[in-house]
Amino acid sequence: MMTFRRLLVAGLLSASVLWSVPSSAGVAEGKKVFDANKCAGCHQVEGPAKEKTIKDQMAKKGPELWYAGSKFKAGFLEKWLAAPQPVRPLAYNSLTEKNRGDHPRLSPKDASEAASYLMSLKSAEVKPLGIPAAESPKGRILFLKKQSCYGCHSMRVRGKMAGGLSGPSFVAASERLNPDWVYAYLKNPKVFKPVKMMPVYSGILSEAEMKELASYIGSLN
């Protein structure tokens, strides 16, 4: 009996070791993939944000990744890096249909390692609140009617693309974005993006409304 239990404990211990080793090894490997592909030439991976002018912002072609682990879902990064698709419909800081070929496309192995590395880059500003992705009716009304979010962000409505084009698309945001990050971003956008084109909603929306919006965006397919 004792031996069996000891075996069981040993088995569990080695299972948990096996479980944790590949992910931390992936971080170091992913950093190598990142360096080898010169990803930092287009992406900021060191926070906090230092950009003060639009020129600073334009110095990097791609969006900041220094808080990628707080913003994205791991599965999304892995998939996207192997097959990059436009997220931002306008030319600035984006892959559009015209420059679709611009982004490095990684092998599945490199994509998985780079995703582990990016998921290790977190911002203390994003608290793990566990805001659920949910089709919040309040969030929906705020997004579509009470505020102008829909005028700048696209989404799928009954299978069709709809909404504005000046901000990143929220099509499949449920696979891409962590609702806790969306909330932190709405609450204190300057931390993540000091030079912004999007209006600042702190003082306009209550914290509860921001949470409803984060839930709603996190549920979009």
Instruction: State yes or no: cis peptide before 132, omega within 30 of 0.
Output: no
**CB of 12 or CB of 59, closer to ligand HEC:** 59
Is there binding between residue 95 and ligand HEC (CB under 6 A)?
Answer: yes
Other beta carbons less than 10 A from residue 90's beta carbon? 13
The one among 113, 201, 215, 220 contacting ligand HEC by CB under 6 A: 201
Distance separating alpha carbons of residues 175 and 170, to the nearest angstrom = 10
Is there binding between residue 166 and ligand HEC (CB under 6 A)?
Answer: yes
Query: What is the sign, positive or negative, of the torsion defined by CA atoms of 127, 132, 135, 136?
Result: negative
**Segment contacting ligand HEC (CB under 6 A): 14-22, 120-128, 129-137, 166-174?**
166-174
The one among 47, 82, 86, 165 contacting ligand HEC by CB under 6 A: 86
**CB of 34 or CB of 66, closer to ligand HEC:** 34
Is there binding between residue 43 and ligand HEC (CB under 6 A)?
Answer: yes
* Rama region for 93: left / alpha / beta (φ>0; ψ in -120 to 50; rest): left
Task: Kindly state the smallest distance separating residue 50's Cβ from ligand HEC, in Å.
Answer: 16
Match 């995703």 to its residue by tokens.
115
103-162 positions binding ligand HEC, by CB under 6 A: 103-104, 106, 114, 118, 143, 147-149, 151-153
The one among 6, 32, 38, 127 contacting ligand HEC by CB under 6 A: 38
Other beta carbons less than 10 A from residue 207's beta carbon? 11
Burial class (CB in 10 A: 0-12, 13-18, 19+), 9: exposed
How far, in Å, are 7, 24, 73, 175, 183 from residue 119 at the CA level?
A: 34, 11, 8, 14, 18
User: Given the rule CB under 6 A, which residues bind ligand HEC?
Assistant: 34, 37-39, 41-43, 61-63, 65, 77, 80-81, 86-88, 93-95, 102-104, 106, 114, 118, 143, 147-149, 151-153, 166-168, 176, 182, 185-186, 193, 196-199, 201, 213, 217
